Amino acid sequence: MITGSNAKLYRACRVQQGDSTVLHNFHDDISIPDKFVVTLELVPGRESSGRTIDTITGISKDASTDGRITAVSITDNPGGNPALSPDALGHEILNNGMDVIVHFTCRDTNRVGMESRALQLAHMGMKNILALTGDYSGKGFGGVGLPVFDFDSVILTSMLKDLNKRLIRSGHSSIFVTGCAVSPFKYTEAEAWVQYKKMERKIEAGASFAITQLGYDIDKYEELLQYNRDKNIDTPVLASLYLLDKRSARAMHAGRVPGVHVTDRLCKTVLREWEQHGGGMPQAIERTARLGVVLKGIGYKGIHLGGIHGGFEDVGKILDRMAVIEHNWQDYIEEFRENEPNRFYLYKQPTKQQTTATAVLPGKDTITVKLTENCHYLFLRAAHDLFFDKGASLAPMYKRISRSLEKNKASWLLKVFFEDPFKKLMLSCKSCGDCGIQHVGFLCPESGCPKHTRNGACGGSKDGFCEVNTDKLCVWVRAYRRMKQHGEAEKLTCAFVPPRLWELKGTSSWINFHLDRDHQKPAKPPARML
């Protein structure tokens, strides 16, 4: 059973900074069974001070005064573009009495920088973290920034869990409360499957709450809750909402915000509303409030509200309206049921002719795999079973050969004349020396995924295609399809995959495997207690 995990690690505590104590403590609030939690997302701009920053700090102060907001979250270079650090801004907001959730992405720094940043956040008293893989890199000074992606969100969550253990051993009374993102708005079986399995890995790695990506499809919101019930996952989940105006509706509908779902119909409706007298804001507030009460009614722990740029007044109107209509939430649920054709849902409602004790049935998607894809998978799977199975009968011989090549400084011959030509032809190999193809359906996560994810897909794919290389299928979609055809989909994202070992770059991954140097080396036995 997966729980809201690692509850033994987390100790409820008040966040204190000098003489200031926050009104609400986020971890306390999400731990109260019947409390509906409201958080507010704020987006810094590309400036260190000025009107945007003043607006954000003003909203946070008003939120603290209002008393209905548990915490504000601060984004980390959204869209991959440079912005004021959430750490600096969050520290100021925390000192003003409002609890803060800091977004922490893997895009811009390596593992050393991420651990250093985590230590800084701990020192500053900011312990609520939303661990994200992050959007792909945008433009900074001189052009597009180098995307790092040394970790993915699963590994980052695991790192924070490990840091928590160190903090506890050193006597800290408060530790990181780490959350994760999940994107239920996926309309192919492969994408939906990998998203939910990756969420499980995040929770196992240490995530104690989740926040959904944004969408307006109530069936997908319900799908996530149903999946959690089926898997006995009781981690609190907050649903994302957005005060949708015409600018954001256009951008989200066009796919410029990865993972967000806005349909043609909704986009046209929003544009039409904003062309009317009054500007569309009343309708935007009403839509947000209605979706908010529906999400509360179907069982979400809370809402995560975005799109607030002018001031706190609009937040107050949304919450006031929710208080008026929440008892009639079922009246609004059909407004957010899209009923679009050719979309995959993990569950479907039974027909009148079907008799079942359950409310929903498993969904099915038509999955086709090209002959070349199938042959590629079968060939590499067979080669892996023959040459790279530590339990195989020939494994001791392969280890002796590898040791001999290393001893005679001849491993380069194997790499240059056999390994490199084979793997570059079959996998577009990047010669990382720490091969991870067995985790991704015998596809390369380094050459096949711009974010180098080894623990499941990011949330940015759309209709099966990559967020970055939009003309190519997501490598995890390809992996799922080829494995599903052979009844092996359960093996995909079934366990935590450690981070890549950069010290092996340019060396032979074959020899590294057989000499137990790569990430697949046997775990060390625990130290004996004296």
What value does the mean pLDDT of the chain take?
A: 91
Give the residue-averaged pLDDT of 192-205: 97
List, for residues 382-417, the tens digit of each pLDDT value: 999 999 999 999 999 999 999 999 999 999 999 999
Do residues 124 and 226 share a domain?
Answer: yes
On whether residue 317 sits in a domain, the answer given is no
Q: 395 with 306, same domain? A: no
- My answer on whether 440 and 303 are in the same domain is no
Position 340 scores a pLDDT of: 80
Average of pLDDT values for 152-161?
Answer: 98
Do residues 466 and 136 lie in contact, with contact meaning Cβ atoms separated by under 8 Å?
no
DSSP state of 38: E
Q: What mean pLDDT do residues 505-528 have? A: 86
- What is the DSSP secondary-structure string of 234-298? ---EEEEEE---HHHHHHHHTT-STT----HHHHHHHHHHHHSTTTTHHHHHHHHHHHHHHHHHH
Q: Residue 525: inside a domain, yes or no?
A: no
Residues linked to residue 305 through DSSP beta bridges, in sequence order: 40, 241
Residue 98 pLDDT > 50: yes
Domain membership flag for residue 483: yes
In a domain, 81, yes or no: yes
Q: Residue 522, SS3?
A: coil
Considering the domain boundaries, does residue 530 fall inside one?
Answer: no
Same domain, 304 and 430: no
473 lies in some domain: yes
One domain for residues 377 and 303: no
Q: How far apart are CA 472 and CA 481, in angstroms?
A: 14
pLDDT of residue 20: 46
Q: Are 209 and 30 in contact (CB under 8 A)?
A: yes
Query: What is the per-residue pLDDT across 472-510, written as a single tens digit (0 to 9) for each?
Result: 999 999 999 999 999 999 999 999 999 999 999 999 999
Q: Are residues 307 and 392 both part of a single domain?
A: no
CA geometry: angle 164, 165, 169, nearest 5 deg: 115
Q: Tell me the per-residue pLDDT of 8-62, one tens digit each, with 9 for 90 and over.
A: 343 333 344 333 455 679 999 999 999 999 999 999 988 888 888 999 999 999 9
Q: 496 and 379, same structural domain?
A: yes
Q: Does this model's pTM top 0.85? A: yes
Q: Is 212 exposed, middle or buried (0-12, 13-18, 19+ CB in 10 A)?
A: buried
What's the domain count of the chain? Answer: 2
71 and 214 within one domain: yes
For the ranges 15-19, 48-52, 207-211, 293-297, the lowest mean pLDDT is seen at 15-19
Please indicate, yes or no, whether residues 306 and 417 belong to a single structural domain of this protein.
no
Question: Hey, what are 106's tokens?
Answer: 């893997």
CA–centroid distance for 431 within its chain: 27
- Alpha helix (H) ranges present in 356-463? 371-387, 395-407, 411-414, 420-427, 445-448
Residue 263 lies in a domain: no
Answer yes or no: is pLDDT of 7 > 60: no
Q: CA-CA distance, 175 to 525, in Å (whole number)? A: 27
Amino acid 173: pLDDT: 77
Q: Indicate whether 121 pLDDT > 50.
A: yes
The reply to whether 44 and 125 lie within a common domain is: yes
Q: Specify whether the CB–CB gap between 450 and 147 falls below 8 A.
A: yes
Does the residue 257 lie in any domain? no
Q: Are residues 303 and 389 in the same domain?
A: no
The residue segments making up the domain with residue 90 are 16-243+299-311
pLDDT of residue 341: 80
Q: Which of 168-177, 361-370, 455-464 has the lowest mean pLDDT?
A: 361-370
What is the structure's pLDDT at 513? 97
374/479 Cα distance (integer angstroms): 10
Which CATH number is 132's domain given?
3.20.20.220
Only one residue has tokens 């204190």, namely: 16
| pLDDT band, residue 363 (cuts 50/70/90) | low
Q: Is 156's pLDDT higher than 90? A: yes
Contact assessment for residue 435 and residue 518, using Cβ atoms and an 8 Å cutoff: yes
Q: What is the pLDDT of residues 310-339, one digit of tens each?
A: 899 999 999 999 999 999 999 999 999 987
42 lies in the same domain as 148: yes
